[in-house]
Amino acid sequence: MDAVTTTARHPIGVFDSGVGGLSVLAEIRRALPDEDLLYVADSAYAPYGDQALAMIEGRSVAISSFLLTQGAKAIVVACNTATGVAARVLRSRFKVPVIAMEPAVKPAVARTRSGVVGVLATRRTLMSETFAQLRERLDTSVMILPQACPGLVERVEAGDLDGKHTRALLLSYLEPLLYRGADTLVLGCTHYPHLSATIRDLVGPEIQLLDSGAAVARQVRRRLAEQGLVAPPGRPGRTRFWTSGQPDRIAPVMARLWGAEVALELLSPAVCGADVAADWPPERSANWIGSAASDSVC
């Protein structure tokens, strides 16, 4: 399905490596209450930030293909890591609008008072060409302090937003940034806004916390409006959820983050494999794409 055959009543497809992208989905729902939304949490393969580039690209293509079979009129890559690795590939492969993430570093640079901005993100995001290009476009008088945060995605995936281990992990990443004078922190992974309350408790009210979820939602609205694809008013939008992991384990976490019960569906084995992308090179075979984390059911 491409942008020519879609209609305004078709849904918007959104995906992330796991439950983190719900922070973006919530902003899209607030900005576009009449839209039907589709969300895929690729939890069997989370976190993407520790995965090989080819795996992230393969998963992004497979899930986007699945969302298109469900009628998606646009794809939202609600994952900074997948954006840096796969957004260009998705845009070249699919005809529907592909809206991706960008860490909120630009507004952070504009708002900092101390001239020091901390960026919390995955290693893969901070190593990406996309992030390097973003930094090159910014005011060089502002110091940008990148901070990789291994382990935080896993804490959110487990639903541990404020436990002892999560707080200790956050402190180990926050203290070096605060010590060097950061007064503005960019939450550069879609999982991290779910930790905002705990981060705020640790750093105090004077530190600014920024993420890009609302900006992505505005971009989705703009792109749909350009093509006449904004859903007409008349009924509240509906939301469907899928996962590649264990639904009975993930559904309670998603319900807590989403703020409502979630009817979570299991992705089919075809989506968990490479069936939807049979033209990939041999090394991206079904066996290769299936080498998932231990909780994979695919």
Confidence at residue 268, expressed as pLDDT on a 0 to 100 scale: 83
Question: Residues within the annotated binding site?
Answer: 16-17, 48-49, 80-81, 190-191
Give kind and range of the element (H or E) at residue 67: helix 53-69
Asked if residue 281 has a cis previous peptide bond (ω within 30° of 0), the answer is no
Confidence at residue 234, expressed as pLDDT on a 0 to 100 scale: 85
Catalytic (active site) residue 189: yes
Question: Residues within the annotated binding site for substrate?
Answer: 16-17, 48-49, 80-81, 190-191
pTM of the model: 0.89
What does the pLDDT profile of the chain (298 residues) look like in tens digits?
444 478 999 999 999 999 999 999 999 999 999 999 999 999 999 889 878 999 999 999 999 999 999 999 999 999 999 999 999 999 999 999 999 999 999 999 999 999 999 999 999 999 999 899 999 998 789 999 999 999 999 999 999 999 999 999 999 999 999 999 999 999 999 999 999 999 999 999 999 999 999 999 999 999 999 999 999 998 899 999 999 999 999 999 999 999 999 999 999 877 765 433 333 332 322 222 222 332 333 4
C-beta separation of 38 from 13 below 8 A: yes
Catalytic (active site) residue 298: no
Beta bridge partners of residue 107, listed in sequence order: none
Confidence at residue 272, expressed as pLDDT on a 0 to 100 scale: 65
Beta bridge partners of residue 98, listed in sequence order: 75
The domain defined by 105-211 folds into Rossmann fold (3.40.50)
Q: Which of 149, 189, 272, 298 is catalytic?
A: 189
Q: Which has the closest alpha carbon to 38: 17, 2, 64, 8? A: 64
Confidence at residue 140, expressed as pLDDT on a 0 to 100 scale: 83
Delimit the CATH 3.40.50.1860 region(s) of the chain: 12-101+214-289, 105-211
Q: Which of 79, 149, 272, 298 is catalytic?
A: 79
Confidence at residue 280, expressed as pLDDT on a 0 to 100 scale: 30
Instruction: Please give the Cα distance from 26 to 40 (Å, whole number).
Output: 14
Half-sphere exposure of 187 (CA within 13 A, CB side): 26
The domain defined by 12-101+214-289 folds into Rossmann fold (3.40.50)
Instruction: Please give the Cα distance from 104 to 89 (Å, whole number).
Output: 23
DSSP code for 144: E
Sign, Cα dihedral of 211, 217, 220, 222: negative
